[in-house]
Amino acid sequence: MSSAPVAPSTYTPLNLLKEGTVVNVCGVVKFFKPPYLSKGTDYCSVVTIVDQTNVKLTCMLFSRDYDTLPSVYKVGDIVCFQGLKIQAYKNELQAISKFGFASLTFDGTLGAPIILRTLSKRFNFTAQDYSMV
């Protein structure tokens, strides 16, 4: 009996996001706030991305472990997020990390080699992910 292949992740263009869905997205960082300790026990990071559809999405990322949040160094970095819940906040869609959230971070400098900076343990990086970046 052969094992079934792992289905590749599909990424939702930011202009097609719908409230109440859980999605995977990729984009270029337009704004970020490095991880900080929230009022509770979790760390929080805020990352606003834009994709080829020129739509912006603010992502609120939470984790009990500082090291599982994405290592964004500068505006222009490229990130791929898996497991974001889309919700409305002040008449705009935003994303909140869900249980099972995973992320990839790359240096977005034009001409730079595509080198993975951080990879969540849960993220299954595929050739499709590479071509998306």
Ranges of the chain whose pLDDT falls below 70: 1-9, 112-133
Q: Which of 86, 87, 88, 27 is nearest to 52 (CA)?
A: 27
pLDDT at 96: 96
**pLDDT for 63-99, tens place per residue?**
998 888 888 989 999 999 999 999 999 999 999 998 7
Which pLDDT does position 116 carry in this prediction? 55
Indicate the CATH number for domain 21-131: 2.40.50.140
Beta strands in the chain (DSSP E): 22-37, 43-50, 56-63, 78-89, 92-106, 116-119
pTM of the model: 0.79
Q: What is the pLDDT of residue 112?
A: 64
